[in-house]
Chain A
Amino acid sequence: DGGITQSPKYLFRKEGQNVTLSCEQNLNHDAMYWYRQDPGQGLRLIYYSQIVNDFQKGDIAEGYSVSREKKESFPLTVTSAQKNPTAFYLCASQGSNQPQHFGDGTRLSIL
């Protein structure tokens, strides 16, 4: 079954802890994206990658890090430097001349 898989669905972070959100796609898409969604807000871009081993900062990259070692995978790490990490995180991918498609999201909460 083709698509974008985000895991886990729910994640809890303790103060001072780094956590990593997983995003995998089997659509053979070159580009992948991470967004943050807060209540009543649109989607804000954290990082994006248009090709393996390359990624770019989005509008709110501070306190986050990513890697793109494989085409299928684009994990997002929420570091302890991110002081307000509670949010819904969405991963998306896009193929050439195609619209972006989204995963089902990961909800991160602080313990």
Chain B
Amino acid sequence: GQQLNQSPQSMFIQEGEDVSMNCTSSSIFNTWLWYKQDPGEGPVLLIALYKAGELTSNGRLTAQFGITRKDSFLNISASIPSDVGIYFCAGQLMSGANSKLTFGKGITLSVRP
């Protein structure tokens, strides 16, 4: 099946820095989702985006739904040690049988204190 493009596979930043992650697709989606996964746990939803061009914030997190509907980015500002984890993007066509999520492979974020 299709996968979304997330790169690089790993990112290393200093505590207090901002970081931006991008996610791209060859096909369009009606919904973009960003999840964070801690080791041995299930992914937790960070931000959901439902409209092209939409910019949504959740605390220090900001995400945008690309105008072309083929990409999204997630920005984390003023990083802290607990931001460590794997960040997945996911796209979905929210209509009937096409309700499956398509995931990226995830970006592992490390934060140096």
Contact = CB atoms under 8 A, between A and B. Distances in A.
Contact of A45 (B45, B88, B100, B104): B100
A42 B45 contact: no
A100 B41 CA distance: 15
State the majority secondary structure of interface residues on A: strand
A2 interface: no
A99 B48 contact: yes
B103 to A, nearest CB: 4
Nearest to A88: B40
Interface string A22-59: 00000000010100000011111100101000001011
Given A43-B88, A97-B94, A104-B42, A48 B100 contact: yes
B99 A31 contact: yes
B40 A44 contact: no
Interface residues of A, number: 27
Contacts of B31: 99
Contacts of B101: 33, 43, 45, 100
Interface in B64-109: 88, 90, 92, 94, 97, 99-101, 103-106
Contacts of B100: 33, 45, 48, 58
Nearest to A48: B100
A77 B35 CA distance: 26
B9 interface: yes
Contact of A44 (B1, B42, B45): B1
A3 to B, nearest CB: 10
Given A58-B100, A59-B1, A42 B42 contact: no
A48 B92 CA distance: 14
Interface of A: 4, 6, 31, 33, 40-45, 48, 50, 56, 58-59, 88, 90, 94, 97, 99-105, 107
15 contacts: A6-B42, A40-B105, A42-B3, A42-B4, A42-B106, A56-B97, A58-B100, A88-B40, A94-B99, A100-B92, A101-B45, A102-B35, A104-B42, A105-B40, A105-B41
